[in-house]
Amino acid sequence: MQFGLQIPVDIDFESSKGLGLHGIKRSFSKEIASSDTIFHKGALRSGQKIEYEGSIVVIGDVNGGAEVIAGENIIVLGVLRGLAHAGAKGNKQAIIAAEKIESPQIRISNIIKEIELNEEEIETENFAYVNENNEIVL
């Protein structure tokens, strides 16, 4: 009786299982005036994470340490203090909108924007997008 020989095989899949910077192989522009959208009611606390291939609407605050990662747009009907990554599959047409953006960092597609927050003067911006120079503009 012979036993089968076991040989290790490495398999590389074209698309990653998760959203985010590590999964972006190329960036692109796609109109996203309408997309599949999920709604989250309530605040996101530190350590909580929402990930979705379409757009995400959070009805509440996104506190520091929380993450919202969307393949399309992110809309926060509250204050954004945590990480927001819109266009996480590479779409540079995605936007981030919130009542107030107080996050130290936001991401759209493969572009990262660090935001300096002074204790005396908190940023009061509420909309972020990628301009023609591939920079995130608040």
Residue 110 falls inside a structural domain? yes
**How would you label 23-37 residue by residue, b for 16+ Cβ within 10 Å and e otherwise?**
ebeebeeeebeebee
Residue 50's CATH number: 2.160.20.70
Q: What is the pTM of this model?
A: 0.74
User: What is the residue range of 119's domain?
Assistant: 35-137
Quick: pLDDT tens for 24-46.
555 555 666 677 899 999 999 99
Residue 57 falls inside a structural domain? yes
Residue 84 has pLDDT above 50, yes or no: yes
Task: Bin 117: left if φ > 0, else alpha if -120 < ψ < 50, else beta.
Answer: beta
Residue 123 has pLDDT above 50, yes or no: no
**pLDDT, position 73:** 95
Residue 6 falls inside a structural domain? no
Residue 16 falls inside a structural domain? no
Determine the average pLDDT of the residues in 110-127: 73
The number of domains in the chain is 1
5: which residues sit within 8 A by CB, 6+ positions away? none
CB 23 within 8 A of CB 41: no
Amino acid making up residue 9: V
**pLDDT, position 22:** 56
Task: Bin 133: left if φ > 0, else alpha if -120 < ψ < 50, else beta.
Answer: alpha
- Report the mean per-residue pLDDT for the chain: 82
Residue 23 falls inside a structural domain? no
Determine the average pLDDT of the residues in 9-23: 56
Determine the average pLDDT of the residues in 119-125: 54
